[in-house]
Structure 1
């Protein structure tokens, strides 16, 4: 650390307005901290790597030229002790799991999150490291997301769980934590086993939704396959959704989750609201024939073949965090 400043922290974001806000608020909230501010991730990488006094960095995950996840990976290679915090304006929980497990990201916050919260967590981690030399994997990295999220392996052994998921497992009769720390889904939905461990010649699906219902209780599951680790292990993100409390996801979330174009996402959002295809097409500003063409592509990307299935899949997906 420098003589005059107790902590040096770097912010990397292509949003100049957000960087200016961080600059102002850092001086107000932590006047003894030294801030560095970069809108170019490549310039930031070189400067942070060359400066051993930088204790922490706050990254935006979506930046042109180099993503926050790519930048975090390069910084981690160069600086094993660097505290890395990542921000996202998208409900990208798969990236959150990868960031924590493979890159060693300290915290993963959705936008907007108050700077004071991030600074308090960084300060606490610095103080913790002064007394403890070993690194620890945070289990609360997804607590700020509003849905229950459980990370599991192919045997449904629970790897991580946020606070919301723990509450769902505590009160629900449809899902629970069972023997040997496994996620028990009762009754088990049809097709779950084949999704987790597909036949040898069958290409694995990236995501699939399931609906559970028993004695009037309902719960939807959206399961996302996470890229395999270097050791070949497979993990999954299970998102627990109460359909009665859901609203259609934001357009950017649909684009991020299913790989839709913006026009496809706009149409999907309207269909999820219960509109007929011709009504949705009119609101989106496209012809009925174009909407039918879009719908075929949407079906392909979301893995369904009928509009009711599309609604179920979309309404089981991640709601907006913006």
Structure 2
């Protein structure tokens, strides 16, 4: 049933050119709606708080002075009914999980996303609310990723799953959804249970890669330990990757996913392109000695101990987050 309620949308982005484009196109795409535009998140916070007729806010995640996540959190505290949509120029798993689970962001879109797509998403949510459907977890919250991403607890019970992960499970015999709404791997990756349930006397690893193989079928996993949920349970992101789909990783992807510094990411990228350590060091502009020191830290962060393992993990985990 169409929504007939007054609808006013706030766009908050420090990119004035993008906001100008929205101004030019919004009225043509949705003439019965209204919009407000803000380049300053602090001004936006005051205005959206005071103007109860603003139904939804579309926020850029990276803004000077106040991030989109900070603005979303502040708005959620005063406007629990507000539809929050986040735009990001690059993939950030932890931010996506925080935005959905802790702040209640409705949808996470890559930047740029067609304005019509954003409007359609808002309208769908308004219609859902109008029809009083029972709220459900936004399982498409990570659809911006080209990778299959699943959020689970330490029993591999699924809380969120994006469309790409569903497609991997549809086509692969190595992973499926069990009767208890949990991830089931056949065979079970060696070391996965130990990673999920580390001994109490050992500090838990932040992330680890795994490989599954049966007959001629292969599947790569990258499991990252996330912040604990509000109920205190452990939380993990499981990334499912077909190792056949490989391309050189982007520096920001390496930083986001593995927690590398920019210098470490640059070195890893050059190694992934097939350069030797000395060649990579020269290209990045560091000494061979520094490169060897960086490499030890990279090994530790990614959870490997040899360069071939590093390349296999990086290339199989990041086919492309920005393609």
Please say whether Structure 1 and Structure 2 have the same fold, judged by a TM-score greater than 0.5.
Answer: yes
Contact 2:173 2:186 in 1 (8 A): yes
Structure 1 length normalisation: TM-score?
Answer: 0.92
Contact 1:89 1:321 in 2 (8 A): no
Report the CA distance between 1:134 and its aligned residue.
5.0
Contact 2:93 2:256 in 1 (8 A): no
Report the CA distance between 1:178 and its aligned residue.
1.7
Report the CA distance between 1:140 and its aligned residue.
2.1
Question: Match of 1:243, SS?
Answer: coil
Contact 2:145 2:321 in 1 (8 A): no
How far apart, CA to CA, are the structure 2 residues paired with 1:317 and 1:267?
Answer: 17
Q: How does 1:230-241 map to 2 (within 5 A)?
A: 230-241=230-241
Q: How does 1:25-36 map to 2 (within 5 A)?
A: 25-36=25-36
Question: Match of 1:244, SS?
Answer: coil
Contact 2:143 2:163 in 1 (8 A): yes
2:130 aligned partner: 130
1:321 aligned partner: 322
1:186 aligned partner: 186
How far apart, CA to CA, are the structure 2 residues paired with 1:102 and 1:203?
Answer: 25
How far apart, CA to CA, are the structure 2 residues paired with 1:136 and 1:317?
Answer: 29
Contact 1:111 1:321 in 2 (8 A): no
Instruction: Deviation per CA, 1:171-201: give whole Å up to 9, x if none.
Output: 2121111221211112111211111111112
Equivalent residues, number: 318
Contact 2:110 2:144 in 1 (8 A): yes
Contact 1:223 1:236 in 2 (8 A): yes
How far apart, CA to CA, are the structure 2 residues paired with 1:53 and 1:134?
Answer: 24
1:58 aligned partner: 58
How far apart, CA to CA, are the structure 1 residues paired with 2:89 and 2:248?
Answer: 17
Q: How does 1:1-322 map to 2 (within 5 A)?
A: 6-132=6-132, 134-318=134-318, 319-321=320-322
Moved more, 51-60 or 25-34: 25-34
How far apart, CA to CA, are the structure 1 residues paired with 2:51 and 2:136?
Answer: 24
Structure 2 length normalisation: TM-score?
Answer: 0.91
Report the CA distance between 1:133 and its aligned residue.
6.9
Contact 2:210 2:222 in 1 (8 A): yes
How far apart, CA to CA, are the structure 1 residues paired with 2:21 and 2:208?
Answer: 39
> Structure 1 residues 64, 205: CA separation in 2 closer, same or farther (over 3 Å shift)?
farther
Report the CA distance between 1:80 and its aligned residue.
1.1
How far apart, CA to CA, are the structure 2 residues paired with 1:60 and 1:201?
Answer: 42
Instruction: Deviation per CA, 1:109-158: give whole Å up to 9, x if none.
Output: 11221111010110122233222175443222223422211111110112
What RMSD over aligned residues (CA atoms) do the two structures have, in Å?
2.0
Moved more, 137-146 or 73-82: 137-146
Contact 2:84 2:107 in 1 (8 A): yes
5+ long unaligned stretches in structure 2: none
Question: Match of 1:208, SS?
Answer: strand
Question: Match of 1:26, SS?
Answer: helix
